[in-house]
Amino acid sequence: MMKELSRGDRSDAMPSIRHSFPMGLLPSGASIRSGSLYVAGVEIKRVAEEIGTPFFIYDEDHIRTTIRDAKGAFSGDIAFASKAFLCKAMAQLALEEGILLDVASMGEMYVAHAGGFPGDRMILHGNNKSDQELAFALEIGVGRIVIDSFDEIDRLESLAKADEPVSVWLRVTPGVEAHTHEYVMTGQEDTKFGFSYSAGAAEEAIELLLSSKKIRLLGLHSHIGSQIFMLDSFKAQFDVMAELIKRYGFLELNLGGGLGVAYIDGEEAPAIADWVSMAESYAKNSGLPDNLRLVLEPGRAIIARSAITVYRVGTIKRLKGIRTYVSIDGGMSDNPRPVLYESGYEAILPERMNDVSDTIYTISGKHCESGDIVVSSALLPSDLAVGELLATPVTGAYGYSMASNYNKVGRPPVIFAKDGRYRVVVRRETLGDLLRLEE
Ligand SMILES: Cc1ncc(COP(=O)(O)O)c(C=O)c1O
């Protein structure tokens, strides 16, 4: 059984005292020695002393193992959705693990390409791809461009050469309402993405593309949203897509990403291997051709749990009878998800993992916004003090990739840890970096 708990304040189902933190919310290579947290054999306290805070630390083997779990249960292709987290080191890791990359902008294509990731293993998305993006995709030979609008068909027709037809998929809106936050729901009729199945736009676009000399339509794509816990939502999506695939005899079907992950104590999400096997068995049982190429594009399910963000506590403000604010040296600029989607997170003290947690705190960021709350109800030891390290688990997805320079706060560095060693794969932004665009 999987369940998703409230995103805001702690629900009644959550503990009010904790003797040990659930290891299932930490990277799989996390361990505790004498109360101190290690990720992939690297002591968090040591990294903080050596490079300062805040920082993102990723367990490299956790990412590799998750990808292997998915690949092991699936005969199709796994494409990592790079919007969840991308830097050159991640592109290299994806290449080493033999998966594809989903990119959704010029910047994502450029960084992946700079990381040595071949264009023909990329899938390009976007509801408003520019001429520049499409031209770059053609230049580096992007494997599949996912067509999202009639305007894009016109644009691609004028950019592509007749002797080098471009391979594309069509993004279909299957009319499925996934059970998730409305801002990350994309499969319903009212959406900026794709071509509607029920309104006939998908059929019209397919017919148009099938008559093109410069564009080769090889299959279909759909993505119904993110942070989905109910596997039934994918079945409804699959049925619509299978009908179109059969009708037109396509041999490629990309079902997008969207598998949810647990962020807080008590939440349970399906395993990635179960999700990919589910897609595979839908295809087998629905009479689709045996040589159909299935593709899945998980982002969060591969990367979210592999990282934690480590901060230092700078101020504690006790408002009698109201709440206690614990302010850290980061906030909505390194993790905008709580502000955007009211997402829930937990907090831990990496130097005191064995201490009993029995007091609720509000973990606030350092930005000039009352709403800059990173964890609305964190269960931590009662004697939490200024100067301690505090970390938020499950921040590997949509944290660094959505980070900003709000209040001219520099973005934290990204660390990859493996076998007791760590390397900085993206350095900390400096004050100089904040001025580098100024004329
Ligand atoms: C087209 C597409 N594919 C895959 C993903 C990855 O989603 P998730 O990280 O929820 O798996 C997204 C997320 O927005 C998306 O838009």
Domain ranges in the chain with CATH number 3.20.20.10:
60-301
Averaged pLDDT, 343-363: 97
Q: Percent of the chain having pLDDT more than 90?
A: 88
Q: Cβ(78) to ligand 1 under 6 A?
A: no
pLDDT at residue number 14: 72
Q: Percent of the chain having pLDDT more than 70?
A: 95
Point out the catalytic residue in the list 17, 319, 322, 368. 368
- Are 80 and 93 in contact by the 8 Å Cβ rule? The answer is no
Domain ranges in the chain with CATH number 2.40.37.10:
23-58+305-435
Give the pTM: 0.95
Please say if the pLDDT value at position 101 is more than 50.
yes
pLDDT at residue number 10: 60
Q: Which amino acid is at 337?
A: R
pLDDT at residue number 383: 98
CA 281 to each of CA 76, 84, 224, 273, 425: distance values in angstroms, whole numbers, following the listed order = 12, 27, 19, 12, 38
Q: Cβ(226) to ligand 1 under 6 A?
A: yes
pLDDT at residue number 231: 82
pLDDT at residue number 232: 78
pLDDT at residue number 230: 84
Pocket test for ligand 1, best of 223, 254, 302 (most atoms within 8 A of CB): 223
Q: Exposure of 176 by Cβ count < 10 A (0-12 exposed, 13-18 middle, 19+ buried)?
A: buried
Please give the span between the terminal C-alpha atoms of the chain, in angstroms, as a whole number: 56
Question: Which residues, 6+ apart, have CB-to-CB distance to 209 below 8 Å?
Answer: 147, 153, 168, 170, 215, 217
Q: What is the CATH number of domain 23-58+305-435?
A: 2.40.37.10
- Answer yes or no: 368 catalytic: yes
Q: Cβ(301) to ligand 1 under 6 A?
A: yes
Averaged pLDDT, 275-301: 94
Cα(232) to centroid of ligand 1, in Å?
18
pLDDT at residue number 1: 33
Q: Cβ(194) to ligand 1 under 6 A?
A: no
Q: Cβ(125) to ligand 1 under 6 A?
A: yes
pLDDT tens digits for range 16-55 = 899 999 999 999 999 999 999 999 999 999 999 999 999 9
| Residue ID of nearest Cα to ligand 1 atom 16 | 223
Distance from C-alpha of 134 to C-alpha of 130, rounded to nearest angstrom = 6
| Residue ID of nearest Cα to ligand 1 atom 5 | 257
- Are 252 and 218 in contact by the 8 Å Cβ rule? The answer is yes
Q: What is the CATH number of domain 60-301?
A: 3.20.20.10
Cα(165) to centroid of ligand 1, in Å?
27
